[in-house]
């Protein structure tokens, strides 16, 4: 893995663990620790866009309060599945 991708992963991991709400910190932090190193550059870009979303909207998607449609980013669907199968 090149230095650019390693730095991007570190930055995204930090952003995942420092969202502003503890719930999102735990979910996104654990998700990033498990999956970011396996993502392609395109998937990392998609994840970066997800992290730009409003925390409340993100939490509502992840917790299932509002549905994630097939048109939503596939990484978001993976996060939701990760949350639903983990006891965080």
Radius of gyration of the chain (CA): 12
What's the start-to-end Cα distance of the chain, in Å?
30
Q: Which position has the higher pLDDT, 12 or 69? A: 12
**Residue 80 is part of which domain span?**
3-85
For residue 32, the domain's CATH number is 1.10.150.250
Tell me the C-alpha distance between 22 and 29, whole Å.
10
Domain count for the chain, please give it.
1
Q: Can you give the pTM of this predicted structure?
A: 0.88
* pLDDT 10s digits, 27-70: 999 999 999 999 999 999 999 999 999 999 999 999 989 987 76
| H or E, element range at 81 | helix 74-85
pLDDT of 86 > 80? The answer is no
Tell me the C-alpha distance between 22 and 11, whole Å.
18
Mean pLDDT of the chain: 91
């Amino acid at each position: 893995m090149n230095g650019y991708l390693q730095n991007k992963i570190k930055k995204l991991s930090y952003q995942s663990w420092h969202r502003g709400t503890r719930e999102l910190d735990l979910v996104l932090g654990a998700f990033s620790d498990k999956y970011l190193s396996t993502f392609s550059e395109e998937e990392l870009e998609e994840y970066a866009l997800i992290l730009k979303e409003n925390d409340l909207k993100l939490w509502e998607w992840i917790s299932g309060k509002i549905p994630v449609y097939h048109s939503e980013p596939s990484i978001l669907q993976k996060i939701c599945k990760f949350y639903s199968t983990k006891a965080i």
